[in-house]
Amino acid sequence: MSERDTRISRRSLGKVGLAAGFGAATYGGFGAASAAASAATWKATGTAVPALASFDTAMKSYMQARNIAAGQLAVTYNGRLVLARGYSWSADTTLTVQPTSLFRVASLSKSLTAAAIVKLVQDGKLTLGTKVATITDLTPPPGQTRDPRIANVTLWQLLQHTGGWDRTVSPDPQFNDRVIAKALGVPMELYPGDVIKYMSGQPLDFTPGTKAVYSNFGYNVAARVIEKVSGLPYATYVQQKLLAPLGITRMAQGWSIAKHTGEVPYVSRQTGPTVLDDSGAIVPAPYGTFSMRLMDAHGGWIASAVDMVRWASVFDKAGTVLGSTALGQVFAVPSIGVNSDGWYYGLGWQVRPVSTGGTGRNTWHTGSLPGTYSLLVRTYNGMSWAALFNQRDDASGLAYGDIDPLLWTAAGKITAWPTNNLYSTYF
């Protein structure tokens, strides 16, 4: 069955999910969460670890200040899972977040896509210097001419955000559904290939390799390379080659409306016209104002926090998934784009070298979509954590990025790390 043949069936699934509830009507942005805040109760699941109580305190203060209904935290130390918690702050007694509940992780997805490319390089299927146009179809729509500079875009450039696309100049095509559908004469919901065809007929915003500008679209193209070279659908390749060796089975591609078993509902104060069909219907922002289908490689995964720290462990040392050469490529300093204070974008990770004999680094990524805020951190001294939330905006006026310093502060309060390891509980 082709992409075009599955368009109606996938869209129908989404409508069935919305009709069945799936949290959209309750949590989708009609003020229900704010109205119920005064009646909210706090619940925490998972094993409490007294030595790590500062992490629980940080999550509670952060979520309650912003009236966040669902949150999750997992913490590792020297390769051991020492804390795995689910948190609920809601008047809805049916909402209980478990350590294994699933959240959209948004741009944390990029580390998976980059690693998939590097895995193919490790297996001798391509090189990071390979020009993308030699692998995947970048044919423009009829009557349009491809910018000749596109022929020179490499995989390095896609993954390091130096491929020539600047969303501050041209709109981010991953969120420009209506314009693309009209230009191509196709109905919504779009497919990743629709976006690539449209962009193949648009001029680049800068010459590839001359500056670094964050690009979701570059990761869309990278996923199509993965499919072409591996012969597998993008998500299948990631699940089989990257996640299965780690015992990670919960992670999957999220849906625009329908909810996976165990997935949390998403909260936003915003609404907008749907991009899942051509009706123009106004919907809650997390449930149709963007297409999870288009997000697949740059923001489409759902996971639990314990899944994300397990995934992050791949980058701690050479192993069965990525060897030492591959890890060196992931964290290599780019030829352009190193910031004034020393941090840079590697392959799917932001990287800050730390002065510990010249080998230390902190690496991290955040994720953000309507109804989602996420953070994944790996530290130079053996700690890592993932924090996931089902909301990114509220009436408090407080910044959601504050979770980063709060968790660093919580870690700094630990006087003795426990010796427990909860991985066997969840994998």
Q: Residue 117: its pLDDT value, please?
A: 98
Q: 293: buried, middle or exposed (CB in 10 Å: 19+, 13-18, 0-12)?
A: buried
Q: Residue 355: its pLDDT value, please?
A: 76
Distance, in Å, from the CA atom of 84 to the CA atom of 71, rounded to the nearest integer, reads 11
* pTM (predicted TM-score): 0.92
Q: In 3D, which of 312, 317, 314 has the Cα closest to residue 105?
A: 312
Spatial CB neighbours of 36, under 8 Å, sequence gap ≥ 6:
90, 91, 92
Distance, in Å, from the CA atom of 403 to the CA atom of 413, rounded to the nearest integer, reads 15
Question: Could you tell me whether strands 70-77 and 301-303 are parallel, antiparallel, or unpaired per DSSP bridges?
Answer: unpaired
Token readout for 239 is 């699940």
How many CB atoms neighbour CB 128 within 10 A? 18
Q: Residue 30: its pLDDT value, please?
A: 36
Q: Residue 10: its pLDDT value, please?
A: 36
Q: Residue 242: its pLDDT value, please?
A: 98
Tens digit of each residue's pLDDT (9 = 90 or more) over 90-132: 999 999 999 999 999 999 999 999 999 999 999 999 999 999 9
Token readout for 20 is 């069945």
Report whether 228 contacts 155 (CB < 8 A).
no
Q: Residue 23: its pLDDT value, please?
A: 37
Token readout for 205 is 């915003």
CA distances from 11 to 293, 296, 370 (A): 11, 16, 20
**Stretches in the chain below the pLDDT threshold 50:** 1-34
Q: Residue 35: its pLDDT value, please?
A: 53
SS (H, E, C) the chain: CCHHHHHHHHHHHHHHHHHCCCCHHHHCCCCHHHHCHHHCEEEEECCCCHHHHHHHHHHHHHHHHHCCCEEEEEEEECCEEEEEEEEEEECCCCCCCCCCCEEECHHHHHHHHHHHHHHHHHCCCCCCCCEHHHCCCCCCCCCCCCCHHHHHCEHHHHHCCCCCCCCCCCCCHHHCHHHHHHHHCCCCCCCHHHHHHHHHCCCCCCCCCCCCCCCHHHHHHHHHHHHHHHCCCHHHHHHHHHHHHHCCCCCEECCCCCCCCCECCCECCCEEECCCCCCCCEEECCCCCCCCCCCHHHHCEEECHHHHHHHHHHHCCCCCCCCHHHHHHHCCCCCCCCCCCCCEECCCCEEEEECCCCCEEEEEEEEEECCEEEEEEECCCCEEEEEEECECCCCCCCCHHHHHHHHHHHHHCCCCCCCCCCHHHHC
Q: Residue 139: its pLDDT value, please?
A: 97
